Structure 1
Amino acid sequence: MTDDEVVEAMRVVARVGTLPPPATQEAVAAAEEAIGFALPPLLRRLYVEVANGGFGPNEGILGVSGGAAQGNFADIADLYQDGPDPSGRIPAGLVLIYDWGCTIWSLVDFRDPAGVMWVNYEGECWPQGVDLAEWLTSTLAGTLTVERLLESHSCGT
């Protein structure tokens, strides 16, 4: 799917569900400042044109300030309040966006405009082999599962 198609597909999801309203440009800018990297263009569009998080797998991804929260985390910048992962296991620019539970997280690489997706499991971090558009498309298709995330590591991708 193109970025435009992903945005439109998420708009359909937003109309059906109870997603938060879109984020303000100020909230996005504040998240970028806290994280130290610009959001990938597709993620920025989704936040300001569709909803401030809440879309994606299950209960949806974290938003920026004022958007969808997940567990103990208010938004994507909340995880960066003390800077990048102090253990050094998660490189700066990889942003935790969705908690699958059981110490499994999906992350977006803010260093790459395509928003390459990564997995963090029990402190180990590896690329998933898809970008944000493909990740969200898999979510819509129902093919994105925890098992597939963990397979991406064992298959060496």
Structure 2
Amino acid sequence: MTDDEIIDVCRRIAQERQAPPPAPPEAVAEAERVIGFAFPALLRRLYTEVSNGGFGPIDGVPPVDVGSWQEHIAVPYENGPDPSGRIPAGVVPLYDWGCTMWSMIDFRDPDGAMWSNADGDCWRQGITFGQWLVAATDGKLRFAWPDGVPPESEWHRPNAPAGQQES
């Protein structure tokens, strides 16, 4: 699917979800200033042409200038990238799966390589932001565990009682 086709699909979904109007270019520029890297082209277009958040899986990605963006992205980056060194500079949280699990996008890559983060560990997903969005719009996107296998824990046991197992 081309970027223009992805934009069209995301625009339709944003309208169905009654997502907010597009972000002002100044909000994107301020986010880039805080992060220290330019947005990947497709992500920039979605924020400035489609909606200030709300596109992507389930309830969508956060807006660039308020709420979740400020809490999870802007505030940490104001102090520099992850001080633990687990998350490379320019790899930015994009979608909160809950339970300290995030899909992240690499601002250093023009195609927006996608990463996963869970419990402080970070790894490449092996797909681009465009591929991630296509999977989301097709209803096939799931959290990307390393090797496709979640760790053994109370929350991730294959036979966990209903309501305790991650999707």
**Fold shared by both chains (TM-score > 0.5):** yes
Distance in 2 between residues matched to 1:47 and 1:103, nearest whole Å? 24
Q: How does 1:1-157 map to 2 (within 5 A)?
A: 1-66=1-66, 69-70=67-68, 73-74=70-71, 76-146=73-143, 149-150=144-145, 153-154=146-147
- Alignment-mate amino acid for residue 93 of structure 1: G
- Contact kept in structure 1, 2:72 and 2:93, CA below 8 Å: no
Q: Percent identity?
A: 53
Task: Give the match's secondary structure for 2:22.
Answer: coil
State the 1:43 CA deviation: 0.3
Deviates more, 1:89-98 or 1:51-60: 51-60
State the 1:77 CA deviation: 2.5
Q: Which structure has the bigger radius of gyration?
A: 2
Distance in 2 between residues matched to 1:111 and 1:154, nearest whole Å? 24
Deviates more, 1:56-65 or 1:108-117: 56-65
- Alignment-mate amino acid for residue 144 of structure 1: L
* Superposition RMSD in Å: 1.8
Deviates more, 1:41-50 or 1:75-84: 75-84
The normalised TM-score by structure 2 is 0.83
Distance in 2 between residues matched to 1:46 and 1:116, nearest whole Å? 16
Partner of 2:155: none
**Gaps (5+ residues) in structure 1?**
none
- Structure 1 runs of 4+ aligned residues shifted over 4 Å read 72-75
The normalised TM-score by structure 1 is 0.88
